[in-house]
Amino acid sequence: MDTVAAPGDPVAAWLRFGLQRHGRVMVVGFRDASIPIDLDRVFVPLYVYADRARRGGGPNTRDDKEGIGHGGAEISFDDALARASDGRTCLALIGDPGAGKTTLLRHLFRRVVSGQVTGPVAHLRGLHPVLVRLATVTDTERVARGLARLVARVAAEDGYPEAGPALLARPNQGFLFLLDGLDEVRDEPNRERICAWLNREIDHWPACAFVVTCRRAAWARTPVLGARFLPVSVQGLHGDAITEYVRRWFRAVVRHFFAAVDSPEDIEARASEKAAALLAVLATPTWRSSTRLLEMTANPLMLSTLCLAHYNDTRLPEQRGELYERTLGLLIEVWTRERPGGPALRLETSRLVLQPLAYAMHEHDRRELSVDEAAALVQTPLSQVPALRAVAPTPERFLDLVRDECGVLLSRDLGRIEFVHLSFQEYLAACHVSGRGLGRALADHAGDPRWEEVSLLAMSRPGVFEPFMTRALERGDIDTALLRQCLRETLEILPAPFEAAADRALARLRSPDDLLARFGRWLFQRPALAPAPDELRRLFELVQGYDLPGLVERARSVLDSGDGDERGPHAPRTAHRLLDEYVPGHQRALRTLRRRNRTPNSRVVHRSSLQRSRTAGGDRELGRRAGVHGLAGYQARRQARRHRRAAPHRGRVGVRRSRHRWASLSLGR
């Protein structure tokens, strides 16, 4: 479409205005200001999923109760426009928040105005695009050929009141009606009336094309529109599309800031360096193995936020919790500040209300709530934050701000509310655990897959690791792999939970349960405890590779003690094998100690000492005279006590048996 016309042509002027308005995107968060970037510089083609049932669901939707997503195919947006042109183009773009539905409309507006419609979309050439939010449609416009009133109103609101009548006066003028946000019509009866009106309007505008956007849940509740519109599901970014988007984003931002001072070659080099650094982070095993992080990179809105976070700090945080913290700060503080006259929310106060909401939703296994339920949950914490109450005096007002101004919450359907991404709900629930000291309660949820990510995120928060790990080790039935992940996520490994668990296991190893204890467990129907050696082995497996001297000293104390028989027959053997297997350098240190304390004729000393012990007595004196300590001293004392209790004729046979047992323990058999 030719936008270059006489200066007095109001239609051409309106098109130029629309090209400037819809052909740019605003990127916020830079030096307390937003920057405009041409949409073409960052736009990456998105694919859509068209299913044969015409229900608008994608192949991997979270809720497939409607049976959507079967027998469809992923196609380009242009192909979807061509398939929807059975006599006239009627297409519905269905997708999640931030999936790029509105961006597709704006890019299509720019293409049609610029005449860049060829191939499958050549039939759109010559149409005049009009982009309007369906939530602004008034009752007076919902009449026969009411779209004419809508065109005139939009032109007047844009500052070109003469363009609407002039355009409508042209004979055979076709329009491309880009109708954004059917789900934003929050009154359900009103939404149904708008759908019925659109179905009728299609017949009144035969030479026109219609594209409407809607979120999934709202579309499922509006089946009447599916009879005339072909619904397709907007798919997320993946593979090469993510790489291309990141490169385009950094190239556009760097060009905006440095075009006046750097050469094009320097700009390209700087942008490539920053994009490569972010892409390297996204390619790490940490990102590629996390479902939550992959979902963030597939969403254009969230990926843009990641690019912004990386650009500001030159790196993304290594901890997921820190990443979510920074992203929430951008959404709540920066985006709110960018809206003229918008209330100034702050993350440190808003989180005091959002955290209890997120925890309650997770505890009750709720992904979404009604607005009334959410308002009831935030009413008490909101009343306890005076600074926030001055901005949002009522729970309903707070929910509206966080949803409409910040984008942390969203409404997929009328009267429903949820967090824009499950990761935010999980992270804020983890923050609530930290703030309220619920580490032990969180450990009671361990083993439930829904709470796994909350547990891992909570490890990076203060005051959670010690009570959580203490309770988890007390339970004894939590998967070791999950606990190892918790060790990797925490910022500081405190030894107290592991030392307490080792003390409990060693106490059981010294004094095995008697008949009365077993009867008590049977009487009160308590589960049987794991064998103490197995519990110790599991504990050492858990902390293998971490420096916990207290745990090692407790195991070595079993070997160094002179009261071996009082500790039970298996305590030294179990401790020795655990040290051999899980403590690096234990055998080497033990051999060094033996070499330092042995005489050239140590075997004779050891043998003669055992013989003298029959009459001299004193197992501790025997250990000192033999010149050996640790395992060697323990074996000597143990053999001496055997000789004192046995008949005198055992003699040297006992010595050979002692040597064999000593050698067996030294090898860790």
Q: What is the mean pLDDT of residues 87-109?
A: 87
Q: What is the DSSP letter of 371?
A: H
Q: Which residues pair with 233 in a beta bridge?
A: 49, 94
Residue 581 has pLDDT above 80, yes or no: no
**pLDDT tens digits along 404-421:** 777 788 776 667 888 877
Question: Which pTM was predicted?
Answer: 0.60
Both structure tokens of 494: 């405190």
Strand pairing category for 209-214 and 90-94? parallel
Q: Which of 248-262, 369-383, 527-541 has the highest mean pLDDT?
A: 369-383
CA distance 424 to 418: 10
Q: What is the mean pLDDT of residues 231-244?
A: 88
Q: Which residue has the higher pLDDT, 552 or 94?
A: 94
Residue 426 has pLDDT above 80, yes or no: yes
pLDDT band at 488 (very low <50, low <70, confident <90, very high): confident
Please count the other Cβ atoms lying within 10 Å of the Cβ belonging to residue 467: 18
Q: Which residue has the higher pLDDT, 185 or 343?
A: 185
Does residue 367 belong to any structural domain of this protein? yes
Q: How would you write 52-119 as a 3-class SS string?
A: CCCCCCCCCCCCCCCCCCCCCEEEEHHHHHHHCECCCEEEEEECCCCCCHHHHHHHHHHHHHHCCCCH
Does residue 452 belong to any structural domain of this protein? yes
What does the DSSP assignment read for 189-244?
HHHHHHHHHHHHHHHH-TT-EEEEEE-HHHHHT-GGGGGTSEEEEEPPP-THHHHH
Phi and psi of 443, rounded to 5°? -65, -30
Does residue 389 belong to any structural domain of this protein? yes
Q: Which residue has the higher pLDDT, 628 or 189?
A: 189
Both structure tokens of 46: 């998105």
CATH number at residue 109: 3.40.50.300
CA distance 229 to 56: 10
Residue 507: predicted pLDDT: 80
Q: Which residues pair with 230 in a beta bridge?
A: 91
Residue 69: predicted pLDDT: 40
pLDDT band at 337 (very low <50, low <70, confident <90, very high): low
Residue 346: predicted pLDDT: 85
In sequence order, what are the residues at sequence separation of 6 or more whose Cβ sits closer than 8 angstroms to the Cβ of residue 259?
Answer: 267
Residue 93 has pLDDT above 90, yes or no: yes
Does residue 47 belong to any structural domain of this protein? yes
Residue 389: predicted pLDDT: 87
In sequence order, what are the residues at sequence separation of 6 or more whose Cβ sits closer than 8 angstroms to the Cβ of residue 178?
Answer: 105, 108, 109, 129, 130, 131, 132, 211
In terms of domains, do 416 and 396 share one?
yes
In terms of domains, do 484 and 578 share one?
no
- Report the range of poorest mean pLDDT among 251-255, 349-353, 438-442, 447-451: 447-451
Residue 521: predicted pLDDT: 58
In terms of domains, do 213 and 247 share one?
no
Q: What is the mean pLDDT of residues 380-393?
A: 90
pLDDT band at 621 (very low <50, low <70, confident <90, very high): very low
Residue 566 has pLDDT above 70, yes or no: no
In terms of domains, do 661 and 569 share one?
yes
Residue 60: predicted pLDDT: 44
Both structure tokens of 12: 């051409």
- Report the range of poorest mean pLDDT among 221-235, 386-400, 517-531: 517-531
Residue 269: predicted pLDDT: 93
Q: Which residue has the higher pLDDT, 656 or 135?
A: 135
pLDDT band at 246 (very low <50, low <70, confident <90, very high): very high
Q: Range of 303's domain? A: 240-316
Residue 508: predicted pLDDT: 76
Does residue 562 belong to any structural domain of this protein? yes
Q: What is the mean pLDDT of residues 148-164?
A: 93
Residue 233 has pLDDT above 50, yes or no: yes
Distances 120 to 82, 87, 286 between C-alpha atoms, Å: 5, 14, 41
In terms of domains, do 155 and 30 share one?
yes
Residue 627: predicted pLDDT: 43
CA distance 525 to 241: 58
Residue 634: predicted pLDDT: 57
Q: What is the DSSP letter of 178?
A: E
Residue 587: predicted pLDDT: 54
Q: Which residue has the higher pLDDT, 520 or 532?
A: 532
Q: What is the mean pLDDT of residues 371-389?
A: 92
Q: Which residue has the higher pLDDT, 189 or 165?
A: 165
In terms of domains, do 281 and 413 share one?
no
Does residue 252 belong to any structural domain of this protein? yes
Q: What is the mean pLDDT of residues 326-331?
A: 80
Residue 53: predicted pLDDT: 54
Residue 591 has pLDDT above 50, yes or no: yes
Please count the other Cβ atoms lying within 10 Å of the Cβ belonging to residue 67: 10
Q: What is the mean pLDDT of residues 659-663?
A: 33
pLDDT band at 657 (very low <50, low <70, confident <90, very high): very low
Q: Which residue has the higher pLDDT, 109 or 338?
A: 109
Q: What is the mean pLDDT of residues 39-67?
A: 61
Q: Which residues pair with 211 in a beta bridge?
A: 91, 178
Q: Examine the fold and report which residue of 468, 489, 510 is the final residue of a domain before the chain moves on.
A: 489
Residue 195 has pLDDT above 60, yes or no: yes
Residue 432: predicted pLDDT: 96
Terminal-residue alpha carbon distance, the chain: 85
Q: At what angle do helices 532-543 and 496-510 cross, to 10 degrees?
A: 160
Q: Examine the fold and report which residue of 192, 207, 234 is the final residue of a domain before the chain moves on.
A: 234
Q: What is the dihedral sign for C-alpha 518, 519, 522, 525?
A: negative
Q: Which residue has the higher pLDDT, 594 or 307?
A: 307
Q: How many domains does the chain have?
A: 4
What does the DSSP assignment read for 373-399?
HHHHHHHHHHHT-HHHHTT--SHHHHH
* Sheet arrangement for strand 128-133: 73-76, 47-50, 230-234, 90-94, 209-214, 175-180, 128-133
In sequence order, what are the residues at sequence separation of 6 or more whose Cβ sits closer than 8 angstroms to the Cβ of residue 118?
Answer: none
Residue 176: predicted pLDDT: 95
In terms of domains, do 286 and 159 share one?
no
In terms of domains, do 195 and 266 share one?
no
Q: What is the mean pLDDT of residues 26-41?
A: 66
Q: Which residues pair with 50 in a beta bridge?
A: 73, 232
Strand pairing category for 416-419 and 369-370? antiparallel
Q: Examine the fold and report which residue of 212, 234, 256 is the final residue of a domain before the chain moves on.
A: 234
Q: With CA atoms as reference, report the closest residue to 668 among 606, 590, 569.
A: 590
Does residue 432 belong to any structural domain of this protein? yes
If DSSP codes are grouped into helix, strand and coil, which group holds residue 166? helix
Q: With CA atoms as reference, report the closest residue to 434 among 468, 472, 406, 411.
A: 468
If DSSP codes are grouped into helix, strand and coil, which group holds residue 411? coil
In terms of domains, do 68 and 197 share one?
yes
Q: With CA atoms as reference, report the closest residue to 345 among 354, 357, 336, 353.
A: 336
**pLDDT tens digits along 210-228:** 999 987 777 877 777 778 8
In terms of domains, do 244 and 229 share one?
no
Q: What is the mean pLDDT of residues 593-603?
A: 46
Percentage, residues of the chain above pLDDT 70: 70
* Residue whose pair of structure tokens reads 């309650």 in the numeric block: 360
454, 460, 465, 468: CA torsion to nearest 10 = 0
Stated as kind and residue range, the H or E segment containing 38 is: strand 33-38
In terms of domains, do 603 and 458 share one?
no
Residue 9: predicted pLDDT: 86
In terms of domains, do 404 and 386 share one?
yes
Residue 72: predicted pLDDT: 64
Mean pLDDT of the chain: 77
Does residue 283 belong to any structural domain of this protein? yes
**pLDDT tens digits along 39-48:** 888 888 888 8
CA distance 236 to 34: 25
Q: What is the DSSP letter of 296?
A: H
Q: What is the mean pLDDT of residues 138-157?
A: 92
